[in-house]
């Protein structure tokens, strides 16, 4: 019993992260309680694994999530007008800032885009319909910024800690654990579609301006993209980027000040 108390004291911060610390932890031992203690210890181990997840594992997890998103949505084939336009406006962007990029279009009316830690970038056809080439480029730069500034990676690690089972689900592949397919949908919602902080969005806006300058794109594409989002939001539509991003009018004003 003394050994168990010492061990629980050592892992209590990890248990708290998983919501597993409670008044019953030090109750008298019984066969049923021993089983419960074993379950708790196993969960603590999973939390510890999530807290120490490697960069290699993060890339693999994002790759799984990207595959799941591509399975759920309609990718534009290479000869589709959206794919042709996107390939043209991102020519030379096979990689950027040390990140190998896979930029493709989804045939969906949503005004949205996202990027993941494995270099996946997806732009929705609805956004391409609403924006010019340089505006689309700025959105891409903003999403890459979230990756390079590790906003998504940090969110994924938090998700793994909050649901420790995610860190050990599935079978090993190349020495890296896999997330069970049944859990990918929830993880995508928590990592890709959840709202970033105001600070993270501001950092990614700044990154986007640097991205535009580095590639010789028109920097005015950034504030004008925000103007477009503000106008679309004023129409009362359910714009995905507005649901997860701060006020675009304020962002446009801030960007113009930086460009001047």
| Residues 243 and 203 reside in one and the same domain | yes
| Residues 23 and 114 reside in one and the same domain | no
Closest Cα partner for 161 from 66, 22, 43?
A: 43
What tokens does 151 get? 């906003």
Distance from first CA to last CA of the chain, Å, rounded?
Answer: 68
Contact partners, residue 188, CB within 8 Å, separation at least 6: 65, 68, 69
| Residues 149 and 227 reside in one and the same domain | yes
What is the pTM for the complete model shown?
0.73
Q: Exactly one of 57, 68, 135, 143 is catalytic; which is it?
A: 143
Which one is predicted more confidently, 202 or 24?
202
Residues 153, 58 contacting (CB under 8 angstroms) = yes
| Residues 38 and 83 reside in one and the same domain | no
Band of the pLDDT at 176, cuts 50, 70, 90?
low
48-52, 127-131, 148-152, 174-178 — most confident range: 127-131
Closest Cα partner for 204 from 130, 89, 97, 109?
A: 97
Which of 32, 51, 70 is the last residue before a domain boundary? 51
Across the chain, mean pLDDT equals: 76
Residue 152 scores a pLDDT above 50: yes
Which of 31, 51, 71 is the last residue before a domain boundary? 51
| Residues 104 and 171 reside in one and the same domain | yes
| Residues 128 and 20 reside in one and the same domain | no
| Residues 133 and 239 reside in one and the same domain | yes
| Residues 34 and 105 reside in one and the same domain | no
Average pLDDT over residues 29-57: 52
Pairwise CA distance, residues 40 & 115, whole Å: 35
Pairwise CA distance, residues 9 & 223, whole Å: 52
| Residues 47 and 98 reside in one and the same domain | no
Q: How many structural domains are present in the chain?
A: 2
The vertex-147 CA angle with 135 and 257, nearest 5°, equals 45
Pairwise CA distance, residues 150 & 155, whole Å: 8
Band of the pLDDT at 106, cuts 50, 70, 90?
very high
Residues 249, 220 contacting (CB under 8 angstroms) = no
Q: In what order do the strands lie in the sheet with 120-124?
A: 102-106, 120-124, 113-115
Query: Domain of 122?
Result: 55-259
Residue 232 scores a pLDDT above 50: yes
Band of the pLDDT at 233, cuts 50, 70, 90?
confident
Which one is predicted more confidently, 107 or 199?
107
pLDDT tens-digit readout, 65-79: 899 889 989 999 999
| Residues 24 and 111 reside in one and the same domain | no
Residue 155: the pLDDT is: 78
Q: Which residues does residue 114 pair with via DSSP β-bridges, in sequence order?
A: 122
| Residues 44 and 151 reside in one and the same domain | no
Burial class (CB in 10 A: 0-12, 13-18, 19+), 2: exposed
| Residues 144 and 242 reside in one and the same domain | yes
Q: Identify whether 56 is a catalytic site residue.
A: no
């Amino acid at each position: 019993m003394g050994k168990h108390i010492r061990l629980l004291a050592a892992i209590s911060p990890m248990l708290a992260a998983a919501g597993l610390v409670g008044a019953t932890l030090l109750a008298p031992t019984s066969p049923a309680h021993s089983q419960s203690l074993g379950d708790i210890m196993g969960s603590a181990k999973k939390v510890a694994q999530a807290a120490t997840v490697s960069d290699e594992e993060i890339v693999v997890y994002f790759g799984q999530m990207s595959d799941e998103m591509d399975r759920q949505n309609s990718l534009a084939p290479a000869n589709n007008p959206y794919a042709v336009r996107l390939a043209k406006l991102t020519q030379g962007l096979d990689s950027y800032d040390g990140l190998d990029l896979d930029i493709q279009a989804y045939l969906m009316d949503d005004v949205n885009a996202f990027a993941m830690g494995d270099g996946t970038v997806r732009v929705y056809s609805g956004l391409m319909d609403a924006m010019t080439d340089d505006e689309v480029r700025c959105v891409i730069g903003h999403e890459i910024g979230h990756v390079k500034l590790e906003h998504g990676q940090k969110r994924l690690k938090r998700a793994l800690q909050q649901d420790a089972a995610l860190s050990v689900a599935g079978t090993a592949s190349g020495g890296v654990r896999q997330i069970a397919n049944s859990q990918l949908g929830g993880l995508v919602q928590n990592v890709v579609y959840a709202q970033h902080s105001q600070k993270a969005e501001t950092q990614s806006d700044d990154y986007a301006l640097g991205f535009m300058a580095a590639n010789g794109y028109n920097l005015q594409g950034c504030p004008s993209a925000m103007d477009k989002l503000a106008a679309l939001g004023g129409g009362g539509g359910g714009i995905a980027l507005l649901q997860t991003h701060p006020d675009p009018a304020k962002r446009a004003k801030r960007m113009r000040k930086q460009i001047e």
